[in-house]
Structure 1
């Protein structure tokens, strides 16, 4: 089965940025690009019988009118989604992607991407989504649920415009999960040729330094320029300050676990990390 870069397209402000990062990833991975639009069934339910809600008899005309209005809203929403997909496809062509296709579904976003999981190599989506546009800096519920559900790498774009990544930063703690992340980066064409900063939060114990040395050797063996460092302090503060000082274009992290770093992808700290970053965040599973 062909593995695709799949980009979630909606009416949010981040849609154009999602298109551009998805196109970049598709070209780097040499993988087909699919744009997905999901019409939320909670907002646009399928045709339903409303007679049990308000009764029969003289109210039949009202029932019919309500049903017709719901059907019209759903059709308009589907047409709007189709137009957004066409615009995304055209933008991808302008970015140099020649094999972008589109897919429209009716249902829940989380359920849909879970059903399509076997076809996904990388999922790209805005960190807020359409619902998040009205939530200020908070991320949308759909986004957080997808992060928790999908067992595939997920690239969450920030609100800033697209910038071709020139160097990346990996949050590393020496655990089996973050070692697997380093191995995934080393084996993937996504970041080939880009300097890779491996940042560890903790003290410079022999054990931690040995972990960093392993990461450096693994990346250098794959042809990467690897810059490793270890810093004491709070995980979030260290990562944010390092990213700022070194002009990092993308942050890469493992998604779950119980270490100091990976706890950031559980509960409220997940929301805070995604909310505060000003660069795209790649979550490896």
Structure 2
């Protein structure tokens, strides 16, 4: 059975990650697993310092440096397990049955690739441990994870609020059609009012595409509001979100080439930076 996997670290956003992951686990009736990855800076690989004995070096100083690295690694390991245990306790208090945890050494992206077949939904914070005070900064690992994994990723803000209304950003691409179909069949959003928004010219072809999305969702029992708006994608979606009290946006991620994104910027990256609510990203 695939899992809801929540990536946690030492950042202030960890509590919100735990709460959104617990919400998703309950709604989807899927097992919840917390993952903590110790990077090289937190858990250094023992080094052979013998080649550094030269001018200004002493063997006992090199030995002390090695011992400090080893101690730092053990403390990081212990801190990680304490964090995982507290996350599990918080999830159980939120009604999740028997959450599990894993701790790994290495790079987050490589670890998630290894576990990709186990992931039904990945939950991550917008900012990581070193980005708490960085304003609109995106966590250093997040963009790489979103570009690499082909699993739904829920990117969450700093505070938890249970979603009550969702918005699907729709452009009739294969990815956003997949998003509509996923919302229609997923228990994650069952019972929530759903807004479908297209950005562009209000033409007959666009209306036909929007009607497909509306019908697909209505046939699955959703209360649907569908509309087309002119303007810039980020501005339209963020403005619509504020006007209609949207709690969560579902959208495709990184649909253009790297060259196009370099020239005109990435809608995905801009929305992650600007949005003050969870984004469910699909590729």
- Choose which of 274, 280, 283 in structure 2 pairs with 1:282: 280
Name the TM-score, length of structure 1 as normaliser: 0.93
Contact preservation (8 Å) 1:198, 1:215: yes
SS at match of 2:179: helix
Which deviates further from its counterpart, 36-45 or 69-78? 36-45
Change in Cα spacing, 1:278 to 1:106, as seen in structure 2 (3 Å) is same
Name the TM-score, length of structure 2 as normaliser: 0.94
Could you tell me which residue of structure 1 aligns to residue 91 of structure 2? 92
Query: How far does residue 256 in structure 1 lie from its aligned partner after superposition?
Result: 2.9
- Choose which of 227, 230, 233 in structure 2 pairs with 1:229: 227
**C-alpha separation in 2, matches of 1:270 and 1:176:** 16
Could you tell me which residue of structure 2 aligns to residue 12 of structure 1? 11
SS at match of 1:130: coil
**C-alpha separation in 1, matches of 2:112 and 2:52:** 33
**C-alpha separation in 2, matches of 1:208 and 1:58:** 71
* Aligned residue pair count: 280
Contact preservation (8 Å) 2:254, 2:268: no
Change in Cα spacing, 1:187 to 1:263, as seen in structure 2 (3 Å) is farther
- Choose which of 198, 210, 213 in structure 2 pairs with 1:212: 210
Query: How far does residue 97 in structure 1 lie from its aligned partner after superposition?
Result: 0.2
Give the superposed CA RMSD: 2.0
Q: Output one character per residue of 1:169-191: Cα deviation in whole Å (capped at 9) or x when no partner.
A: 01001122211110111111110
Contact preservation (8 Å) 2:234, 2:270: no
- The equivalences for 1:120-131 within 5 A come to 120-131=119-130
**C-alpha separation in 2, matches of 1:248 and 1:176:** 24
- The equivalences for 1:36-55 within 5 A come to 36-55=35-54
Could you tell me which residue of structure 2 aligns to residue 133 of structure 1? 132
